[in-house]
Chain A
Amino acid sequence: MNIISRKPRFVSGLRLKENKKSEHSPISVIPPPPRVIIPMQMHAGAECSLLVQRGDKVKTGQLIAQSDAFVSAKIHSTITGTVKSILKTVSPATSTIISAVEITSKIAEQQQDGRLDSDTANAGLEEEKVFDDSGHIKSAEEFRIFLKKVESEQGAGLIQKIKDAGIVGLGGAAFPTHVKLSVPEGKKIDTVILNGCECEPYITADHRMMLEYSMEILAGAYVIFKILGPQKVIIAIENNKEDAIKLIADKIFELGLENIFSISALPSRYPMGAEKTLIKNILKRKVPVGGLPLNVGVVVQNVSTAKAIFDAVAYDKPLIERAITITGDIIKPVNLMVRIGTLVGDLKNYFGVLKEKPYDFIFGGPMTGFSVANMNFPIVKGTGCVLVKEGMDLTEKNCIRCSRCVSVCPMNLMPLMYGTYAKNNMWEQCRQYYIESCIECGSCAYVCPSAIPLVGYIKTGKAVLARKK
C-alpha cells in the first residue's frame, strides 16, 4: 500500500533559494537561560492576566497567567526562579502594548553578567527536572501503550489537557490549539492536515522535529485524530525533505497506522505551508474569504504542535520550550530547543562572529518574520527561527505596473494597488481591492522589481481599516 501521494511539479508559487543551512544540525537542548521575559500574549486572542506578583517564587511549568476568554492560551513559567519585575512590552501577536513578566533564576543572581558557565548551568538543569520528559517514544510497544491511554480518554478530557498546557499553533500564527480542536456543533471535520511543509527558506526546526521526534508527532497526531474523528490524517511535507518523508512513512507502517495516516509530498514552492494554499493544493478545496479551514471540513496543525500535544497528554507537560533555528549570515547555523521567554541577546553565543555593522535580527523566516528592535526581545511560542541577516538597504522606486505581484499572489489579489493607495492614505480603496484577504506571505514584495515594501503598506492598511471599524 502506497501512502505517499506526490503532487505534480507545476503548482503555482515561488521557487526561493532554500538556504536550509542547518538541516543536518540536530536539535540540541540548551540549558535554561538565567532570565526570561514572558509576554502575557503570545497567541492570537485575549491577553492573559497575571496570577503571580513581584517577588514570588515560581517553578518551571507553574501556571502564571490565564484568561477567561475562550480564544486565549494559558501561560506557564519556563524556568525556576523569582518574579523580578512586571513590565510593559509590545505584543508579538498584535503589536499592542501588553504586560510581560521577567523571571530570573539562581544562576542569574550568581552571575550578573548574564553569561553561563557550564557548572552552574548543569546545577540549574538538575533543578529544572520537574517533568518526566524522557520525551521519546522508544519503541512501537510504548507507542501502543500511549494509544491505549488516549483511547481510554474522552475527547473533552484531551482538549482540557491541551488547554491546560497552553498549547498554541507553533507554525507561527500561534492560534490556541484547544480552540482549533473545539469544533462547533454541526461542523464535521473529514480531514486533518499535519503541516510539515516549512516552505520558508532557512528554517529547519520542523524538519528536524520530524526526523528526531517522528513517533511523538504521530502520537500527537493520533490525539488530534481521536478528538476530531476525521476520516484521514494527511501529513504534508515538501519534497525537499525526502528523509523526513521516508522516515515518517516507515514509522507509519511500523506502527500499523496506514489506514489513518498518509503523506502528501508537495513540490517545494512558497507559500506552500500557508493554510489556505496547503488545503487548496492537497484537497482542491478553497477556504472562503474570512472563513476558517473548518468551513471546508479541515483542520491544519503544525508538526511541532503535534509533538507538544503528545507531551501534554503523556506527561501533562505545558508548553515551556520549543525548537528554533538560529541561522542566516552566521558561521554555524543550529537548531536549538529553547525555553519560551529566552531573550535573543542571551542566545548571542550561537550567532558566532558578526561583522561590525548593523544586522537584521529577524524573528521568523525571511519572508514573513519581523525585525526585532533590540536584543531584549524574547522568544515566544510562535517563534520558529531567529534569522541574522545583513540589512538589504533597498531603495523604493516607482511602480512600473509590471504585474509580477499580481501573477505571484496566492490569494489572487492586485498588490500593486495597495502600494499606490497606501501612499495617498486611500484606505477605503484598499478594501475595494480586498486587502483583508491578504495573508502577508511577502511574495509580492519579493518579486517587485521596484523594491516596493508592499507588505509594510498592507500591514499599515489593515491596521488602519481595523481601527476604523
Chain B
Amino acid sequence: MDSKIDEAKLIDSGEVYIAHPPHIWSGFSTAKVMYIVLAVLALPFAAAVYFFGLRALYLIIISMATALITEFAIKKLRKKPFYMDGSALITGLLFALVLPPRIPFWMAIIGAAFSIAIAKEAFGGLGFNIFNPALAGRAFLAICFPTAMTSWYFPAKWFVPGYAAADALTSASPLSESYIYEGTRAALYKDLFFGNIAGSIGETSALAILIGGIILIALKLIDWKIPVIFIGTVALGSLIFGNDVLFQVLSGGLMIGAFFMATDYVTSPVTGAGRIIFAFGAGIITLLIRNFGSLPEGVAFSILIMNAFTPLIDKYVRPKPFGFVRTIVKKDGKRK
C-alpha cells in the first residue's frame, strides 16, 4: 500500500480516461483475422510449390512483395497511416495462386501492383474496394496479356530426379474443348482432386483448398453459405446442361474462387440472405461463361460481376429487426 499517496493525487487531479462503451474488447483484430487466413492459405501455397516447382514459389514471393511494397508506397503517397495488417500479403498471395505457372515475372509484378494500387487503394484502401483486388489484377492481366495468361503447363514434377525446366509440356486448360486427358475417368478425377493437372498454380489442388476452406468455416471466419451455394449452383447447373458434374466442380478456379475469393469480406454481402443471392448469382454466371462464353473459364469474372452487385444486395436485402411489425398501408393511405 506504499503508493497510496499517488492514488489519492491521481483521483483528485481529475485525470480520468473516457471512452465509449463497451469498455472491453474481444482483441480479435483485423490483423489476426488476416494472419489466420494467411496461415490457412499455406495449404494451397504448398500445393502450388509441390506441383509447379520453385517457379511457383518465386511467383508467389514476387507477388506478395510487390503487393506489400505497393501498399506501403501508396499509403505514403496518400499520407495515410500504413498498418501491417496482412491484407496486402493475402492479396499478393491469392493473386499469385491464380496465375499460370510460366507467366513472366514482370507481368506478375504489374498485376500485383495493379491489384493494390488500382483495385484497392484507388477506391480508398482496405474496406472500400468494390472488386476483389486479386481477381481484378488477374482480370487486368488477362486483358493485357491474353496469350501469357492462357498458356498452361503440366505440373512440373520438379521433385522427379533429372527433370529440367525446359522439359515442361504445354497443355490446354482442362476446361477448354481441345483438352484431351490420356487416362481413365477415375484417374482424371484423382488428378483434379489432388492437383496433378494443368492450371493456375494454386487452383489445381482441390484437396488443399477444401481443407483450408473447412478450417476457415470451422473458425467461423468465412460463411459456409457462399462456397456451398456457389459450388452447388455450378454442380446443379452442370447436371442440367448435361456436363460432367464432378469434372466441372473440380476443374478450373471454382474451388479457390468459391472458398477464398467469393468469401472476401470487403467485396461480398454481409447478410446471410445477401450471401445466398451473391453465391447463386456467381454460380449462374460461371455456368453461362463456361457453356456459352468465348472463354473456357468464368469463375474470376463471375465473382467480379457479383462484386459489383454487393452494395445493391446489402441495400435491399436487409434483415428485419427483432420484433419487426409490418405497417399495413391501406388503400386510403392511412396506416393501420
Contact = CB atoms under 8 A, between A and B. Distances in A.
A401 B69 CA distance: 24
Contact of A368 (B8, B21, B265, B323): B21
A360 B125 contact: no
B32 A356 contact: no
A451 B17 contact: no
A289 B321 contact: yes
A373 B270 contact: no
Contacts of B16: 358-361, 371-375
A368 B271 CA distance: 25
Nearest to A331: B1
A394 B23 CA distance: 10
A412 interface: yes
A354 B321 contact: no
Interface string B6-35: 111011101111111111111011101100
Interface in B96-144: 124-128
A463 interface: no
Interface in B206-246: 223
Contacts of A366: 21-24
Given A371-B16, A398-B127, A360 B23 contact: yes
Contacts of A416: 270
A437 B320 CA distance: 10
Nearest to A438: B321
Interface in A422-469: 433-434, 437, 440, 442, 445-447, 449-451, 453, 455-456, 459
Given A366-B23, A368-B22, A289 B128 contact: no
B3 interface: yes
Contact of A345 (B11, B32, B125): B11
B318 interface: yes
A307 to B, nearest CB: 26
A413 interface: yes
Interface in A53-106: none
A371 B19 contact: yes
A365 B94 CA distance: 43
A186 interface: no
Identify the interface centre among B8, B18, B318: most chain A CB within 10 Å of its CB: B18
Given A351-B7, A354-B10, A447-B28, A360 B319 contact: no
Interface in A324-372: 345, 348, 351-356, 358-362, 364, 366-372
A398 B21 contact: no
A358 B15 contact: yes
A387 interface: yes
A445 B22 contact: yes
Nearest to B18: A371
A280 B323 CA distance: 10
Interface string B152-168: 00000000000000000
B302 to A, nearest CB: 20
Interface string B62-84: 00000000000000000000010
A370 B21 contact: yes
Contact of A414 (B12, B268, B318): B318
A314 interface: no
Contacts of A456: 20
Given A360-B16, A401-B127, A450-B30, A414 B319 contact: yes
Interface residues of A, number: 70
A397 interface: yes
Contacts of B20: 445, 453, 455-456, 459
Given A348-B11, A397-B83, A391 B17 contact: yes
Nearest to A454: B20
B335 to A, nearest CB: 13
A26 interface: no
Given A399-B127, A402-B33, A406-B270, A353 B7 contact: yes
B324 interface: yes
Contacts of B314: 414, 417
A397 B7 contact: no
Contact of B10 (A356, A362, A398): A356
B306 to A, nearest CB: 15
A453 B20 CA distance: 7
Contacts of A434: 318, 321, 324
B25 A400 contact: no
Contact of B321 (A291, A372, A437, A451): A437
B272 to A, nearest CB: 8
Interface string B26-54: 10111011000000000000000000000
Nearest to B33: A449
Contacts of A353: 1, 3-4, 7
Contacts of A291: 323, 325
Interface in B255-291: 265-266, 268, 270-271
A286 interface: yes
B322 interface: yes
B50 to A, nearest CB: 31
A276 B19 contact: no
A354 B322 contact: no
Interface in B178-204: none
A451 B24 contact: no
B281 to A, nearest CB: 18
Contact of A402 (B10, B18, B265): B265
Contacts of B124: 398
A411 interface: yes
28 contacts: A201-B24, A280-B322, A287-B323, A289-B321, A289-B322, A289-B324, A291-B323, A348-B11, A352-B7, A359-B10, A367-B23, A371-B18, A373-B16, A373-B18, A374-B16, A375-B12, A375-B16, A389-B23, A394-B25, A401-B265, A402-B33, A403-B265, A403-B271, A412-B321, A414-B270, A437-B323, A445-B20, A450-B29
Interface of B: 1, 3-4, 6-8, 10-12, 14-26, 28-30, 32-33, 83, 85, 87, 124-128, 223, 265-266, 268, 270-271, 314, 318-325
**A-B CB proximity, top 7 nearest:** A391-B17, A442-B22, A398-B127, A456-B20, A403-B270, A437-B321, A358-B17
Interface of A: 16-17, 201, 276, 280, 286-289, 291, 345, 348, 351-356, 358-362, 364, 366-375, 387, 389-392, 394, 397-403, 406, 410-414, 416-417, 433-434, 437, 440, 442, 445-447, 449-451, 453, 455-456, 459
Given A291-B323, A403-B270, 9 more contacts: A16-B24, A17-B24, A289-B322, A356-B3, A360-B17, A375-B14, A392-B23, A406-B270, A414-B271
